[in-house]
Amino acid sequence: MGNGSKRREDTERTNSHPRKMSAKAKARKKRNRIILIVAEVFVLAVLGVILYAVTRVDEIEKVNISVSINEEVNDYISQLPTTEDGERGKGYLNIALFGVDSRQGALSANTRTDTIIIASINQDTGEVKLVSVYRDTYLNVGNDSYNKCNSAYMRGGPEQAINMLNMNLDLNIENYVTVGFKGLIDCIDSLGGVEIDVEDREISFLNDYQISMVGKSDDGIHFYANEGVDYTPVTHSGVQILNGLQATAYCRIRYVGDDYARTRRQRTVITQMMEQAKNANIPTLTRIAESTFPNVATSFDLDMILSTVSDIGSYEIVATQGFPFEEHRSSGNIGGKGSCVVPVNLVENVSELHEFLFGVENYQPSATVQECSDRIFADTDSYLPH
């Protein structure tokens, strides 16, 4: 990859190799063990599975899907060594995690994904790595048309969205978890809210997003949701406790800063949620699971859920990233597609992704990725700053 060694100096990449880690990286890993970096609405589903899957699994929407994997990729990933001595182990479990713009129900199609995350679990070490695919990334959306990647879920539900990820990124994802906004709202409310330092310039957008999610009453003063969620406007800046609706709206702000700033807000909310959850009692955690499950859809069957739950105690989030990588991305208005995040060289992005997830240096992407990369360049180069 040419400049690969230089790029590894990026602070977010320090943990990318599972068997080599500096003392500084180890210290940061310990400090940030539970801090996620991107739009982790999906964490509600994971939390629900951990807490309540065995007894309430029938309440999750189970969806059967059939996905495609680039021909040479499945064998390659299945043969990767996963133990410290380089021996073949259980392998990597790669899962697509989606947070959707859905009030309740409608988790399987006709809704755009506000969140797209790849969770890669090393089943031998318990190490988990998370990669957020920015929702406006210009990619092949799984059917040889090119658009913002979050449109794949709208057009063909989780099946097309997974095919999009596999096609563009040389991955072998076969399963997914999707969570709707209502689950996030209920979870935060069950935790008693989260403490957020709201900026003055964020207030109007935060309130507008609340209104967009719950609706407006005839008198223009009281806002409400059909599910009984009250709208309470945020009236001042500074540190304050945000309820579920407020915090979810805060996660969605994208007009103060760019989409990368939006993911930082989401990181803040999830960090606060996790801190609250660590101190929650069993009744609180049970309420979270009960409120979350009706807003979860997944391809996992009961056996797979039980298998995942049995290993969950050994899991540890060791590294997170955003895709495309900062050094290989640009942005611009791409014709009628609007403002997009562009992987200026998809091949180099995918090579770096495989080093980050699997510790593979100088990975050579498939012919399919090369073809997608060439098309993305042809479609976008004239629109990008040089």
Lowest mean pLDDT among 38-47, 153-162, 300-309, 370-379: 38-47
More confident residue, 188 or 48: 188
What CATH number does domain 192-278 carry, 3.90.120.10, 3.30.470.20, 3.40.630.190, 1.20.1560.10?
Answer: 3.40.630.190
Q: Is the pLDDT of residue 33 over 90?
A: no
- Between 347 and 57, whose confidence is greater? 347
Please check the confidence at residue 226 and state whether its pLDDT lies above 50: no
Q: 27-58: buried (b, 16+ CB within 10 Å) or exposed (e) per residue?
A: ebbeebeebbbbbbbbbbbbbbbbbbbeebbe
Please give the share of the chain, as a percent, with pLDDT higher than 70: 66
Of 100, 119, 123, residue with least CA distance to 110: 100
Return the closest-CA partner of residue 348 out of 134, 169, 171.
Answer: 169
The DSSP code for 202 is G
Q: Which fold has domain 35-183+282-383?
A: Nucleotidyltransferase; domain 5 (3.30.420)
Q: Is the pLDDT assigned to residue 7 strictly greater than 50?
A: no
Write out the E strands in the chain. 61-62, 92-100, 113-122, 127-133, 138-140, 146-148, 175-180, 194-198, 238-242, 296-298, 316-323, 329-333, 339-343
What is the pLDDT at residue 307? 58
pLDDT tier for residue 114 given thresholds of 50, 70 and 90: confident
Mean pLDDT of 144-163: 93
Count of beta carbons in the 10 Å neighbourhood of residue 338: 11
Q: What is the pLDDT of residues 34-75, one digit of tens each?
A: 223 222 334 434 443 433 343 344 455 556 788 889 878 877
Taking the domains of the chain in order of start, what are their residue ranges? 35-183+282-383, 192-278
Q: Quick one: CA torsion of 332, 201, 207, 35, rounded to 10 degrees? A: 70
* Residues 93 and 299 sit within 8 Å (Cβ to Cβ): no
Q: Convert 240-285 into a string of H (helix), E (strand) and C (coil).
A: EEECHHHHHHHHHCCCCCCHHHHHHHHHHHHHHHHHHHHCCCHHHH
Q: What is the mean pLDDT of residues 200-209?
A: 93
Please tell me the predicted confidence (pLDDT) of residue 147.
96
Other residues' Cβ atoms within 10 Å of the Cβ of residue 216:
13
Cα separation, 189 vs 167, in Å, equals 38
Tell me the CA distances in angstroms from 358 to 5, 16, 28, 78, 109, one per residue in order.
16, 8, 20, 11, 31
Q: Is the pLDDT of residue 24 over 80?
A: no
Using an 8 Å Cβ cutoff, are 134 and 94 in contact? no
